[in-house]
Copies of this chain bind each other. A is one copy, B any other.
Amino acid sequence: MKRLTGTNEEIAQLLYQEQLELSKQNVDVEETVRAIVEDVKNRGDQALRDYSAKFDKVELDSLEVGQDLIDRAFDEVDKDVLAALENAKANIESYHKQQLETGFEDQPSEGVIRGQLIRPIERVGVYVPGGTAAYPSSVLMNVIPAKIAGVKEIIMITPPQEHFVPAILVAAKLAGVDKIYQVGGAQGIAALAYGTETLPKVDKITGPGNIFVATAKKQVFGIVGIDMIAGPSEIGVIADKSANAKYVAADLLSQAEHDVLARAILVTDSEELADAVEVEIEKQLKELPREAIARPSVENNGRIIIAKDADSMFELMNLVAPEHLEIAMDNAYDYLDRIENAGSIFLGHFTSEPIGDYYAGANHVLPTTATSRFSSALGVHDFIKRIQYTQYSKAAVNQAEKDITTLAYAEGLQAHAKAIEVRNDNN
């Protein structure tokens, strides 16, 4: 891993520029995607079938994944995987239920009622990539918060497969997906955004995908809501001399194996630990089935920064605003109040980041590329709307008349003033 030196601001700035570079989509598919989206909007199901024939090389009998295929997935799924998914589901549910919001109402003065309703988004679409990028854990992470929010209908789409990964269909049903359609790519996103004869139009689309999917999501944003567009995965580890180099190395590599563009950053105030972690990384890399991905990731994008003390480590990491943040220190919990920017935090020597990817319950859909400065993990809040309401009695509006009309006239909006004055008996 490359070692960086400088002030925290300089290092953070450099890391950010590098991160933007890693996130850059070098392929321009805007026009291709725009044509596909337009075609699906106009030709509906037939366009979906045509793209399936063209891109997926299959002639689809049915766009919907039928109950027979779902039953077969439950028959075929490995029993340990099923049990693990059920346990993960329980943890994800119990974590996310704590995010449920309730509305409020107050009566600040005589004749005035104000409040806020919480309503679930009505219909949500979840995109699940096909092939080797099909992660049942992502199905749980996208669907369960929507379900807890009270979304009435959850539609999953995924590219057609010769044989669906059983755990994907099983995770979908466990999590509460209502219908599954075998439609992938930009055409799938367009179908969710505009609806077709078979697929219902949704209100919001979440879930990861390749550049065609991500570009289509950006293009339909506004017609529907979307979740974030994720960049390559990142982990930042803050470790002092109490850390175990073997553990830290293993955790850094668990991010690195995702993608050659993934990034692992170690910030430590111990030169010794930094050296030991590098030795461990090399040792563990050699035993790793995905060495071909993890090695270029750590060699090109891995970074080590030696900080002068704990204060400096936390200052730097807040500037970096990593997606995943591990604090590999004794009493890590006590440092929680130092954290200003991060997607998800893993505390202490034993909370390896993959615990969060699969199991503990917090969401693994997280803000990348320093966007944790202003955004958050996917959660129940992403599947609700807050609707304001206000009620004024006649006496209350008459009493507020002077203030309201003064502001309306000051802004040159006389019809606004008039709408208040008309409620006064003198008018």
Whether A128 sits at the interface, judged by CB under 8 Å, is no
Chain B residue contacts of A158, Cβ below 8 A: none
Q: Which of A210-262 contact B (CB under 8 A)?
A: 222, 224-225, 229, 246-247, 250-251, 253-254, 256-258
Given A352-B420, A376-B386, A387-B339, CB of A84 within 8 Å of CB of B404: yes
Query: Contact check: which of B247, B353, B388 meets A363 at CB < 8 Å?
Result: B388
A355 touching B257, Cβ below 8 Å: no
Alpha-carbon distance between A12 and B251 when the two chains are bound, in angstroms? 52
With A407-B137, A408-B358 known to touch, is A254 a contact of B419 (CB < 8 Å)? yes
Interface assignment of A179: CB less than 8 Å from any CB of chain B: no
Is the CB–CB distance between B256 and A415 below 8 Å?
Answer: yes
Q: Which of B341, B402, B419 contacts A84 (CB 8 A)?
A: B402
Number of copies: 2
The smallest beta-carbon distance between A419 and chain B, in angstroms, is 4
Number of interface residues of A (CB under 8 A): 120
Report A342-365 CB contacts with B as 1/0, cut-off 8 Å. Answer: 111111111111111111111100
Q: CB-CB < 8 A to A357: which residues of B?
A: 408, 416
- A350 contact set on B, CB distance < 8 A: 392-394, 396-397, 423
* A290 cross-chain contacts in B, Cβ below 8 A: 412-415
B254 x A404 contact (CB < 8 A): no
Contact with B along A389-411 (1 / 0, CB 8 A): 11111101100101110111011
Sort A-B residue pairs by CB-CB distance and give the 7 closest, nearest first. Answer: A225-B374, A362-B388, A347-B391, A84-B403, A345-B389, A354-B416, A250-B419
